[in-house]
Structure 1
Amino acid sequence: MNLIIHHWDTDGITSTALLVKALELKEFINLSPPIGEFRFDERIRREIEKANRLYVLDLNLPHEVEGIDKETIFIDHHIQPRIMNPMVKQINPALEGNEAPSASFVVSEYFNVWNAWSALGVVGDIGEKAFEIPRVHQLLERERLTREEALKIVELIDSNYIAMDRESVEKAPKVLLENHVKELLSYEPWLKKAEAIEKALKDALANAEVKNGVAFIEFKSPFNIISKVARKAVWELGYRGSLVVNRDFHGKAQVYFRISPDMAEEVNMSEIIAELKGKGFNAGGKREVLGCICERDKIGEVLEIIKDHLR
């Protein structure tokens, strides 16, 4: 039995469809880790025990396969250490200091299978910048897909993980394999999810309170939209920063802080992250972004630390 373990986003899903097509796999099981958790859970480990061959796609989890005694093909594009397990064939241009815009491109390059899925993986990972890559443009043009249609298909595929629907994430590669790429634009289950997500985004943004150019936004939603809310506030609505709180995300709280490049000169995000971690919070990020998951009764403490740095 062939087992494919893949990331839950468009790149992971298109990479899976490309692999199945390239190898002409008639029988396979594909699984995603729990959404938002970069680990193999017990469900995945049970299937690994039963599998004859394993494929791991677009998951930066080299440590998870070090102890596996099954023939494994590990395809990725993230920076990562070499896998020492001789049972694992690691295919990643980053190991040689090269870059790939998506795992879908790595799969396509390795197996020489190129189609619209190859391009959609890139659009899913780097957004609008994907259209600056000539090959992405050529592949979409070949399928007569416009830029807007490609972005829409990515939005529809990603609606599954944003809705925290692991079962639909795992069904998605077969939806790609069984439908022409243009037909995905009218695939009803994904359209309904995307509409519900769009409404939740609008409702959240409608609650924005602005002070000194920073939007403070609070909402409750089971959808994993917090980063999208923050991005829209800064990139589309033009706020210098956005501090966003989802007060009830499956029993936990999410806090997300994004700032514009000009505000990055005033706010030291790494200091805030370090202080949050020092207080025991699960926090991470980079120069312009901070994300934190905490207990709901700890929201005030997290916000106070961030606001202290803003003052």
Structure 2
Amino acid sequence: MNLIVHHWDTDGVTSAALLVKALDLDGFTNMTAPIGEFRFDERIWDAIEKAKRLYVLDFNVPDEVEMVKVETLFIDHHAQRRIKNPLVEQVNPSLEGEHYPSCSLVVSERFGLFNAWSALGAVGDVGEKAFELERVRKLLEREGISREDALRLVELIDSNYIAVDREAVEDAVRVLLSHEVKELLEYGPWVKKAEAIREAIEGAVSGVEERNGFAIARFESPFNIISKVARKLVWELGYRGAVVINGNFHGKAQLYFRISGEEAERINMAEVIERIKALGTNAGGKREVLGCVCERDKIEDALKIVEEYLR
């Protein structure tokens, strides 16, 4: 069995679809982790035990990958350490000091397959900034997808993880593989979710506190909207950064810290991530982003660490 473990967002879903198409995999199983948690759960470990080959895409879990006992291709673009496990081939430009906006583009370069999915992964991860890349613009133009269509497609694909629908995230790979890209703009199950989520995001943004040019948003919601709220605050509303706290997410707490490109020169996000992981939380991220899921009684300790950097 070919097993693909991928991140739950647009970049992870498109990376998985690209891999399946590039390798012409007839038989495969794709899985994502519990939404918001950077780990392999029992369900994934059980599947890994039965797999002949494992692919891990856009999911920054080097400690988990280090422990696998099956031949593995680990493709990513997040900052991470080198894997020592001889069964693992690690493909990650960040190891050579190169910054890629998405895993989808790394997968495309690895296999020489570029299409609209390659571009959508980038749009999903860096938003409007992706349109500054000539390769992204050309891939979208080639398939007749406008900037507005691309942003909407990302919103629709992401609606599955934001609604904390793990099964729908995994099914999204099949949906991509079986539909023309533009058809997905009218894909009913995704459209319905996206409408409800948009209302929740607007509500979260409306209650923001500002501190030294940083936005702090607190709310409670069953939707996994912390990253979307943070992107809106930084990318659309122009804050230096955003700290977003969902105080009750299915019994857990979430914290998300996103900073602008300028702030990334000052704030060492890898350091912040390690300090918050030391609290015993599930945390991960990259140069401009930190995401954390923890018990509700630990969220204030995590927030205190982040607040040290809001100068």
TM value normalised by structure 2:
0.82
- The within-5 A match list for 1:152-231 is 152-208=152-208, 217-231=217-231
Q: Which residue of 2 aligns with 1:35?
A: 35
Q: Which residue of 1 aligns with 2:73?
A: 73
**CA 1:88–1:192: 2 relative to 1, 3 Å:** same
Aligned CA-pair RMSD: 3.7
Instruction: Kindly state the Cα deviation for residue 37 of structure 1 after the two structures are TM-superposed.
Output: 1.5
Q: Deviations over 1:32-72 (max 9, x none)?
A: 11122111111111111111111111122233233433222
More relative contact order, 1 or 2 (CA 8 Å, 6+ apart):
2
State the identity as a percent.
66
TM value normalised by structure 1:
0.82
Instruction: Kindly state the Cα deviation for residue 5 of structure 1 after the two structures are TM-superposed.
Output: 0.9
1:251 aligned to 2:248? no
Q: Deviations over 1:161-197 (max 9, x none)?
A: 1111111111111000000000111111111111111
Aligned 8 A contact 2:211 2:310 in 1: no
State the SS of the aligned residue for 1:222. coil
Q: Which residue of 2 aligns with 1:20?
A: 20
Instruction: Kindly state the Cα deviation for residue 301 of structure 1 after the two structures are TM-superposed.
Output: 7.5
Amino acid at match of 2:11: D
Q: Which residue of 1 aligns with 2:90?
A: 90
Tell me the number of residue pairs that the alignment of Structure 1 and Structure 2 aligns. Answer: 311
CA–CA distance in 2 between the matches of 1:85 and 1:269? 26
Q: Note the residue ranges of structure 2 that are not aligned, 5 or more in a row.
A: none
Instruction: Kindly state the Cα deviation for residue 128 of structure 1 after the two structures are TM-superposed.
Output: 1.3
Q: Which residue of 2 aligns with 1:131?
A: 131
Based on CA coordinates, which of the two structures has the bigger radius of gyration? 1
Aligned 8 A contact 2:159 2:194 in 1: yes
State the SS of the aligned residue for 2:144. coil
CA–CA distance in 2 between the matches of 1:53 and 1:186? 35
Q: Which moved more, 1:299-308 or 1:50-59?
A: 299-308
Q: Deviations over 1:199-255 (max 9, x none)?
A: 111222334467897766443211121343344345434567766543321113345
Q: Which residue of 1 aligns with 2:55?
A: 55
Q: Note the residue ranges of structure 1 that are not aligned, 5 or more in a row.
A: none
Instruction: Kindly state the Cα deviation for residue 133 of structure 1 after the two structures are TM-superposed.
Output: 1.3
CA–CA distance in 1 between the matches of 2:240 and 2:95? 37
CA–CA distance in 2 between the matches of 1:35 and 1:73? 22
Amino acid at match of 1:232: K
Q: Deviations over 1:98-146 (max 9, x none)?
A: 3433221121112111111111111112211111111111110110001
